[in-house]
Amino acid sequence: MKKLAIISEFNPFHNGHRYLLDKCKEITDADLFISFMSGDFVQRGEASILDKFSRAEVAVLNGFDLVIEMPSYISLQSAEYFAFKSIEILNKLDIDYLAFGIENIKSEDFKKYSYELIDKNEEVERLTAKYLKNKNSFTKSRSHAINEILGTDEFITSNNILALEYFRAISIINPNIEIFPITRRGSYNKDSYFTNSTFASSTAIRNNLSDSIKKYMPNVSYKSLVKFLRENNRRNDNIIYDIFRYKLLIENKPMENTLCFEQGMDKLFKKNILHSKNHDEFLSRSTSSRFTKSRIKRLVVNYILDQNLDLNKIDVKFIKVLAFNKNGAKLFSELKGKLSIVIRKSDADNMDNENLLVYQKMIDSSNLYSLITDRQFNTDYTNKTKTYE
């Protein structure tokens, strides 16, 4: 059974996501299509616009066979770790293919540039370190280094940097996984407004919630989004900010070992909290060329959830299933004895302590999301995973 995976957020699922999947079905001989999807918090450090259960259902109804929840400590990290830890887990599923979207360039050019950058990895690291000394963020420093080596800036977009990290991770973990970079159509990941009549970025859809978004999404996705927003409150970031202030100022909980932390961030935050009335003002005061807004938001959630560097050392031996169809269920027997398949709470009973910790952090993350949206608490235990036709 040939398996293709796509690492995803689907925040929300739109026509571009459907195009990516349809293209994969057209150009590969895969029998099973897997989405390895972020949970209720995504890589920007934000709560997703609709919850993981809704997004997983939409993904299966649009053609995926299986949706697996990404552990929360992976989804709340920089591109390098986000990609590497994701590929580590997907490799245990014996995937044959990984597909992802790219921007600006053709698939062949992306591969050519990626091979060159991997071959010159030491130089990439040296130049990145040089730009970091100038108080640039890691992302900005990495971009400058890549531009200098390739002699062009057409490669640099956030989508392509993440795609490069997938490529790099595969080259280290299992070079036999075949990659399929597929060029986005009609819009870029960073677009905050509509630039095309059919395709729009998730950012543009989130920023322009009105009837006009309907044409940019499969109908089942649009209906799911409308239903979720009608039944649940929009996320309240100030609840996150209040929890963060309490833990930092009153509990005085150390930050040093937290994922995404860098020396000096705790002192900066303590100073800025005292002069900020709300979450947005705190972010505005704290963001700089070195500390990006996304990184700060990731750190804040990691700090609240007590997600620390030791989590990166854990050998994850389970998958948490959010949705699947009968074809997706075929994988479960293949993985028996290799990985634990967690569909209901009792499936986690026999995990070792380390994997149980990873699982519990996923539940904690889900419950934090419930707090800021007024969704039912402990939804992971009460929500029954459906099998779709």
Residue partners of 226: CB distance under 8 A and separation at least 6: none
11 is in an annotated binding site: yes
d(CA 6, CA 245): 36
Q: Coil, strand or helix: which one is 252?
A: coil
194 is in an annotated binding site: no
9 is in an annotated binding site: yes
Alpha-carbon separation of residue 194 from 33, 42, 241, 342 (angstroms): 29, 22, 31, 39
d(CA 359, CA 353): 10
d(CA 119, CA 116): 5
13 is in an annotated binding site: yes
> Would you say 20 and 99 are in contact if contact means Cβ atoms under 8 Å apart?
yes
328 is in an annotated binding site: no
20 is in an annotated binding site: yes
> Would you say 62 and 218 are in contact if contact means Cβ atoms under 8 Å apart?
yes
Pairing type for strands 97-102 and 3-8 reads parallel
List, in sequence order, every residue forming a beta bridge with 78; answer none if it has no partner. none
Structure tokens at 281: 């003002």
88 is in an annotated binding site: no
Residue partners of 380: CB distance under 8 A and separation at least 6: 345, 362, 363, 366
101 is in an annotated binding site: yes
Pairing type for strands 66-69 and 318-325 reads antiparallel
Residue 316 amino acid letter: V
> Would you say 247 and 267 are in contact if contact means Cβ atoms under 8 Å apart?
no
355 is in an annotated binding site: no
357 is in an annotated binding site: no
224 is in an annotated binding site: no
337 is in an annotated binding site: no
138 is in an annotated binding site: no
249 is in an annotated binding site: no
List, in sequence order, every residue forming a beta bridge with 181; answer none if it has no partner. 100
> Would you say 89 and 175 are in contact if contact means Cβ atoms under 8 Å apart?
no
> Would you say 220 and 62 are in contact if contact means Cβ atoms under 8 Å apart?
yes
d(CA 374, CA 367): 10
List, in sequence order, every residue forming a beta bridge with 308; answer none if it has no partner. 258
159 is in an annotated binding site: yes
Residues annotated within the binding site for ATP are 7-20, 101, 159, 184
Residues annotated within the binding site are 7-20, 101, 159, 184
